[in-house]
Every structure is written in C-alpha cells, then in structure tokens.
Amino acid sequence: MPHWKTAASALVVTGLLLAAQPARANLAMTVSPMKLRLTLAPGEARTEALEVYNNGDDPVRVVTKVEDWTTTRAGGVDILPPGSQPRSASAWVRADLTDFTIPPHGMRVVRVTAALPDTARGSYWTILFFEGQAELRRTSLGLVTRVRMGTTVYLTAGGTESRKSTITEMAIQPSADPDTLELVAGLANRGNVYYYPVGWFQVTGSDGTVVFQRELPHRVCLPESETVYRFPWHPTGAGPHRLLVTVDSGEEALIQGIKEFGVAGPIAARPSQLKADP
C-alpha cells in the first residue's frame, strides 16, 4: 500500500487587475494528499485518487500539468521542464482530468495513474500541478486570479533500492555576527532511492558536556544529490570542542561525522581565534 503524507506546499498566487473598482475574487484551493509515495514492481501500474477542493465562493477552472523538480544544495527547490531530469517520472504519471471546473465549495476527484517501466531501478519523482483560475466580471472589466498547487509524486521500484550516503564538507566558519559561528555539514546521497534523513548536530566541550544540539530540518534527500546544513552557534566558552553530526538515512547503521576544533578566546574578539583541525 502507498504511504500517504500530507504537508504544506508552495502556494503561488498571481492576479491581473483590469478594473478601477473590480469585484474581489475569493479563490481558495487545496489538494489532498500533497505527497504521493508509491512503491511499485518494475513494469507495474497503479491508480490513486486525489481530491481537489474549491473553498471559495466562485467557480474555479483547473488545469493539470506535470513538471520535473530537483533540490539545491541549500535546500531549495527548482521547478524544471518535464523529462529534463535523469530520474524524472513525468512521462509515467497521468491524471484522468486535465481541464475541469469545480463549483463553489465543491470537490473533484482526480485519478492519477503511475506506471514504472520494466527497466526502472530505485526512485523517480515528479510534481503534478493543479492550476486554478477564477474570473469575475463587472461590465467589460474584471479580475483574474490564479492559484497553483502541487502534489509531489515519488515512485520507487521495489526490490531495487540501494542506500549509500556520506557526510561531507564538515566545517566551522565565522559568520557576519562576531558573536556567532556557523556549523556546516553536507549530506550526499550516493544511492538510488530518496529519503527524509533524521539526525542532529551536536557540539560538546572539553569535558564532554553537550553545549549545543539541533535536529536536522525535515527535508528530502534525493539520489545523486547533496544537501548542506548550516546552524548558527554562539560559543559560551573557550577551549577544545567537538562537532558530531549524526544521520539516520535508513541504512543498517547510523552515519556520523566528527570535527574537532578549538575556540581560543571570547568569540566576539576576532574570527581568527577560531581554530579547526583538518
């Protein structure tokens, strides 16, 4: 069975104002679920139902479209043309409704069919956008408002998963704030399956006392990609310290990286007082 997870997604609203005193559009649209995760056998197809809601007072015309996307090293998302990414699933995901209207406070069910080819290995992904448009008119002028919502679709070929991740680029850097250091570590996914890492940054002092700890943000780690995490830290004392980064990537063992470094004096004095071991 697929694993459903609902999460907030980006909402893009644009308006074209054509009248001096136009009617106001009440356009509020939601899609459920906003993440669709399917594990299929190579060559298998499956159909799932999405619900698209019009929570506004006006009819909404909805057009569906699939597009590629990827993540940046800083954790952002880039939307790209369909089929442009090596692990694009855009050609394998189809909606049964591509242009439809939802009445005020109504709902339409959109059935989405995903099919993996026989040669599929690991994970693939796309995003299915629902672009809603409402138009109100007074005489010859009016207001057009558009809303774009997306359901992220992940497809994984069951039994072909390979998990391999490493921690990279551990560093302790000065920041623009003279009282603060920046803790940095990269996580590279060298496998063929996506995952949401769970883990934390931890700093200990010379006596082993934990002086700083933060959990990793909830962020997908795609195959053949690297994500860089950054946390600000305000040291409270000088001396040797240790940065320990721990990540659960779904592999048999946790991934850990260690960086020894020292703060030679009050951090507010000079960034040059930071000494990091290679």
96 contacts 111 by C-beta, under 8 angstroms: yes
Structural tokens at position 32: 């459920």
**146 and 229 co-located in one domain:** no
The count of other CB atoms within 10 Å of the CB of residue 191 is: 20
**Looking at residue 144, which CATH number applies to its domain?**
2.60.40.10
- pLDDT band at 266, cuts 50/70/90? low
The reply to whether 57 falls in a domain is yes
Q: Which residues contact 208 (CB under 8 A, 6 or more apart)?
A: none
Q: Which of 102-116, 132-146, 167-181, 207-221 has the lowest mean pLDDT?
A: 132-146
The answer to whether position 81 is within a domain reads yes
Q: Does any domain span residue 122?
A: yes
- Closest among 122, 120, 95, 121 to 109, alpha carbons compared: 95
Same domain, 52 and 131: yes
Kindly tell me if the per-residue pLDDT of 75 is higher than 70: yes
Residue 274, domain member (yes or no)? no
Q: Are residues 98 and 176 in the same domain?
A: no
**What integer is the mean pLDDT of 96-112?**
97
Q: Which two tokens stand for residue 262?
A: 């020292």
> What is the structure's pLDDT at 143?
56
Token pair for 16: 């074209």
Residue pLDDT, tens place only, 6-65: 333 333 333 332 233 344 456 789 999 999 999 999 999 999 999 999 998 889 999 999
- Residue-wise over 192-214: b if at least 16 C-beta within 10 A, else e? bbbbebebebbbbbeeeeeebee
Closest among 104, 109, 100 to 136, alpha carbons compared: 104
Beta carbons within 8 Å of 46's beta carbon, 6+ residues apart: 2, 38, 40, 113, 114, 115
Residues 21 and 143 in one domain: yes
245 dihedral zone (left: phi>0; alpha: psi -120 to 50; beta): beta
To which residue do tokens 């069919």 refer? Answer: 113
Domain assignment present for 278: no
Query: Which residue did the predictor score with more confidence, 99 or 237?
Result: 99
Does 275 reside within a domain?
A: no
Q: Report pLDDT for 220.
A: 97
Of 218 and 13, the structure prediction assigns the larger pLDDT to 218
For residues 162-168, average pLDDT: 96
- Predicted local confidence at residue 27, as pLDDT: 75
The single-letter DSSP state of residue 221 is B
Are residue 124 and residue 8 in the same domain, yes or no? yes
Whether residue 273 is contained in a domain is answered as no
Determine phi and psi for 106, rounding to 5 degrees. Answer: -110, 180
121 and 180 housed in the same domain: no
Average pLDDT, integer, range 111-137: 92
One domain for residues 20 and 88: yes
Q: What pLDDT does 65 receive?
A: 96
Domain identity same for 16 and 152:
yes
Residue 113 shares a structural domain with residue 248: no
CB neighbour burial string for 140-171, b if at least 16 within 10 angstroms, e if fewer: eebbbbbbbbbbbbbbbbeeebebebebeebe
- Domain encompassing residue 110: 3-157
What per-residue confidence (pLDDT) applies to 236?
85
Residue 147: predicted pLDDT = 87
* Dihedral (Cα; 131, 137, 142, 146), 10-degree rounding: -10
Quick one: what percent of the chain has pLDDT higher than 70? 82
Q: Residues 133, 24: one domain? A: yes
Highest-confidence segment of 112-121, 134-143, 228-237: 112-121
Residue 149 maps to a domain: yes
With a cut of 60, say whether residue 241 has pLDDT above it.
yes
Give the chain's domain count: 2
**Which of 115, 133, 157 corresponds to the end of one domain?**
157
Least confident of 205-214, 248-257, 260-269: 260-269
Task: Answer with the one of 138, 157, 176 that is the final residue of a domain.
Answer: 157
Domain end among 101, 123, 157: 157
